[in-house]
Structure 1
Amino acid sequence: MKLDSIDIRILEILQQDAELQVAEVAQRVGLSTTPCWRRIQRLKESGVITRQVALLDAQKVNVGVTVFVAVRTSTHSQQWFETFKATVQAIPEVVEFYRMSGDVDYLLRVVVPDIAAYDRVYKRLIAGTELRDVSSSFAMEELKLTTALPLGYVG
């Protein structure tokens, strides 16, 4: 799908506040309400906008500790991967899960209230599959966190 400058502006606005009324978005991008609504619907239907969610304050919901977990494995079979993937996806504290290049095979971002809670997550993780190495790093301070994607590469 080809995006023009108005589509990009709509996306920038919605990434900051998806609760805005269509009329407000339309006013900000210089369109009337109906054409703006149609553009937003097209962005949803084409999969550019995948979903709209509420973002929560981690501290206020008692998961203010962020742990980055680097996983290395000696096994790379599809069956092993499916088991590992199912194990990780069943752990709600894992909020991001990536297959990596380089020295680390998988990287997880885990949110928990404290080290004891992370230990319970760790035990579930290692019980589910055979892993060669699991290395955990606790974030000391959050310096930047955004869900907004950069749109300067659209074109």
Structure 2
Amino acid sequence: MLDTRDRKILELLQRNASTPIADVAEQVSLSPSACSRRIQRLEEAGYIRARTALLDREKLGVPTTVFALVKTAHHSDDWIESFRKAISDIGEIVEAHRLTGSYDYILKVVLPRVEHYDVVYRRLVKRIELFDVSAFISMEVLKSGEALPVDYAE
């Protein structure tokens, strides 16, 4: 069961996982050692999956985002596994979600420029049969981030 301090610790760490324990402890009114134990408990309980660095897409040369909506005529477990393998080997595809509705999947693709989408598209369709792929270029990011709401955690 999470308490208010645990939730605050999770909020602080997901904003900046490299925040010194002493600073986190001060903000949640704990000693550094008690705060460290809580963080370790949160990690062991699976609330904290990993501590990672968020990289700057502009500096890495992939500022463009394209969302690809995918339709397929195949829905077998074997096909889905083949699809997972095909997209996992393409680094520019950074997210993939199975959907309800008219399309089966949505892919988030990061690129150096829009024209590079064709390179990714060709690599994908060489690996797996797709019925239809429609691409949409993101014009502006209105909200972005990995931070999750912590109020629902038990």
Question: What is the TM-score when the length of structure 1 is the normalising length?
Answer: 0.96
Question: Residues of 1 paired with 2:46 and 2:19: CA distance?
Answer: 20
Instruction: Name whichever of 143-152 and 105-114 sits farther off.
Output: 143-152
Structure 1 residue runs of 4 or more that deviate by more than 4 Å after TM superposition: none
Give the letter for the 2:44 counterpart: E
Mapped to 1, the partners of 2:45 and 2:151 lie a distance apart of 19
Shift of 1:83: 0.9
Q: 1:56 Cα shift? A: 1.2
Report what 1:48 is aligned to: 47
Q: Distance in 2 between matches of 1:154 and 1:83?
A: 34
Q: Show the counterpart of 2:142.
A: 143
Structure 2: give runs of 5+ residues left out of the alignment: none
- 2:151 aligned partner: 152
- Aligned residues with identical type, % of pairs: 47
3-state DSSP of counterpart to 1:96: strand
RMSD over equivalenced CA pairs, Å? 0.9
- Number of residue pairs matched by the alignment: 154
Deviation per CA, 1:93-145, whole angstroms, max 9, x where unpaired? 01111111111111110000012321110001111111111010000011111
- Aligned match of 1:3: 2
For 2:76, the aligned partner's letter is S
Mapped to 2, the partners of 1:68 and 1:36 lie a distance apart of 40
Q: Does 1:115 align with 2:114?
A: yes
Rounded to whole Å, the distance in 2 between the matches of 1:23 and 1:137 is: 45
Q: Do residues 103 (structure 1) and 116 (structure 2) align?
A: no
Aligned ranges 1:59-70 → 2 under 5 Å: 59-70=58-69
